[in-house]
Structure 1
Amino acid sequence: MMKIRAHYIVIIILLLTSCSNKVRVVLLPDTQTYAEKFPQILDSQLDWIATNSKKIDFVLQQGDLTQNNNKTEWDLVKKAFSKIDERVPYILAVGNHDMGSGPGKFADVRNSELFNQYFKYADFSSKKYFGGAFEKDKLDNSYYLINTGKIKWLVITLEFGPRNEVLDWANYIAAKYPDRLTIVNTHAYMYNDNTRIGEGDKWRPQAYGVGKDSGPKAVNDGEQIWEKLISKNPNIRWVFSGHILDSGVGTLISTNEKGLPVYQMLANFQQGVEGSVNGGNGFLRIIDMDFKKKTATIKTYSPYLKIFKEEKEHSFIFNDVNFSPAK
């Protein structure tokens, strides 16, 4: 009997060790067209996440939850995400379609009242993985401390066109947790030509009403976020974004000031992206990280269609990934 028990203990230890070497992150970009026209597709995404929640470590959403920032769409989005409440940690971003002076007015002013009404600070701040926020009672700029086996994560989610003062705050948070592998999750960062959003690019944050602000309130595009925040912090190693149309994809590995790799990805499938059907047909990104093999495998899957995208820009592997936050 003792030998049998010992055998099972060894098996359990091996299973736990194996699990601690792997992490699955799901990216859920730009759900706006589903909120406006195809709520059943949004439901299929969240149903799939709920069903597979034991295999998913956390979910990151890249903004533009809604198309028109109205209560009808926010009702649908809130109902969909409630499917994964208490099942798997999820972190949201605010896109240009989620802020404005009224429905259908996109980022003319920095007003995210409805987002914060439906996704309440009080609810998120009670979660054990919640770290804090830039502004009292607002989740637009917030951070989260997630532990997955051997890896301790810091996830910083940033508003559309983050202000200078927000980037100052994010620098402080990144420096506060140097031992945590850090992800920056935001709406507008990468462009569709595998570069960061910069001067001359379409849909640059400076082209919207909030882009008129100056000083501490001045907005930043992808290249500026890189220069002021990402490149300066050795523990920031991943950046995820949406927002950009045309191909809706972009991938870039850059080297930060400490000579460490930073993996940056754009994924967007909304209406207006080339080849998009039904606002994206429910495609989302699955990132499987294997710390032992030093790989990150990226797949693009639709729970609605139950198929994968096989094109190289949607299915690829990063090899020799450095998962150490500072070396």
Structure 2
Amino acid sequence: MHHFLIIPDTQYMAKNHPDIFLNMTKTIIQYCKDHPIDAVIQLGDIVDGGGQANNEFDTAKECFQLLDNAGIPLIFAAGNHDYDQVIGIGLTHPNPEVDGRNLSVYNHYFGYDRLKEKDWYISSYEKNQVENSYYKIGEMIILVLEFGPRDSVLDWAHQVLTNYPNKKCILITHSYMYYDGKRTSSHSEHNPIHSPETKDGNDGEMIWQKFISKQSNIVAVFSGHHVPKNISYRVDKTDKGNVVLQSFQNWQEEKYGGAGRMRLVQYDSKSNSLILSVFNPLTKEFEHGKDYDLNIKLGGGEQVLID
């Protein structure tokens, strides 16, 4: 059994509620003392103001450092608000096609220097940059892809999974699925390919068609980014016949920037099933609502909602 905590967009906590942010990480540490957690995974938009918001990065670093100090594996995706120049909110970028994908500040705070001594970090697509990277957690691969991953990144990711045919994989990327349960496509708002900086990338539907549907060992995809609703999911069979859970979660527009709400994910390799729930670290309670509690049996694709 593998156990993960999935944290979506923390940007408004980093900007406006550092005390709530700190409470989240302290609560995670306390939770881990009594429950097995293999890794904490953040889905991107760590901060709101991009590379200009060093104070927000400082806040996030201070809070997440507690998990590093406690020896809890901590994995980040990069969101559009984490780039040196925030992507996709109408800002004018001087050279969007040349340096619009720059993540120098993100990589300074949460990049290779932080990971290079971790035995669970394996490798990255580009040297000293971790927005495209993969990790071995227990008997699973955690694969992280950039915001609107490029074709070359998807080719690299395919090779990664080809090298680990007997390892199940969880895929993380910031934007993949909308809150209505549809993968992002040309008609979706806040789609990476609508921004000049990432128009060379792929949206959710393209990622599915070009990459995920061709794999036999991806069991789940987790993403955030979209607003204003909080949660959705879907399950689909790949061309290989295996079932993949795709889960969207994001509470950033709720009170206190979401208060640090997170997905608890349990994967049982013996039964090939996933159990998902939602925990609020501010109230120290599990929350229940539509699609909050799921038991997904990947072998047959059955779905059981636990009310």
- Report the TM-score when normalising by structure 1: 0.83
Aligned equivalents of 2:192, 2:67: Cα separation in 1 = 31
Unaligned runs of 5+ in 2: 302-307
| 1:276-310 superposed Cα distances (whole Å, 9 cap, x missing partner) | 11211221111123445554221111111223221
Match of 2:261 in 1: 283
Q: Is 1:90 the counterpart of 2:74 in the alignment?
A: yes
Aligned equivalents of 1:75, 1:173: Cα separation in 2 = 32
1:1-327 matches, within 5 Å, as: 22-54=1-33, 55-69=36-50, 70-85=53-68, 86-101=70-85, 109-147=100-138, 152-212=139-199, 218-271=200-253, 276-292=254-270, 294-319=272-297, 321=299
8 Å Cα contact 1:299-1:308 kept in structure 2: yes
Unaligned runs of 5+ in 1: 1-21, 213-217
Pick closer, same or farther for the CA change 1:193–1:122 going to 2, 3 Å.
Answer: same
Partner of 1:65: helix, strand, or coil?
coil
Aligned equivalents of 1:114, 1:322: Cα separation in 2 = 44
Aligned equivalents of 1:106, 1:310: Cα separation in 2 = 41
Across the two proteins, how many residue pairs are aligned to each other? 289
Deviation at 1:176, TM superposition (A): 0.9
Aligned equivalents of 2:154, 2:39: Cα separation in 1 = 24
Deviation at 1:102, TM superposition (A): 6.8
- Report the TM-score when normalising by structure 2: 0.89
8 Å Cα contact 2:143-2:171 kept in structure 1: yes
Aligned equivalents of 1:48, 1:322: Cα separation in 2 = 36
Aligned equivalents of 1:322, 1:112: Cα separation in 2 = 40
Aligned equivalents of 1:289, 1:238: Cα separation in 2 = 10
Deviation at 1:211, TM superposition (A): 3.2
8 Å Cα contact 2:243-2:298 kept in structure 1: no
Match of 1:17 in 2: none
Give the letter for the 1:84 counterpart. L
Partner of 1:224: helix, strand, or coil?
helix
Pick closer, same or farther for the CA change 1:293–1:231 going to 2, 3 Å.
Answer: closer
Q: Percent identity?
A: 34
Larger radius of gyration: 1
User: Structure 1 residues 307-316 or 32-41, which shifts more?
Assistant: 307-316
User: Structure 1 residues 52-61 or 131-140, which shifts more?
Assistant: 52-61
Aligned equivalents of 1:317, 1:162: Cα separation in 2 = 29
Give the letter for the 2:162 counterpart. A
Give the letter for the 1:194 counterpart. G
Match of 1:16 in 2: none
Deviation at 1:48, TM superposition (A): 1.6
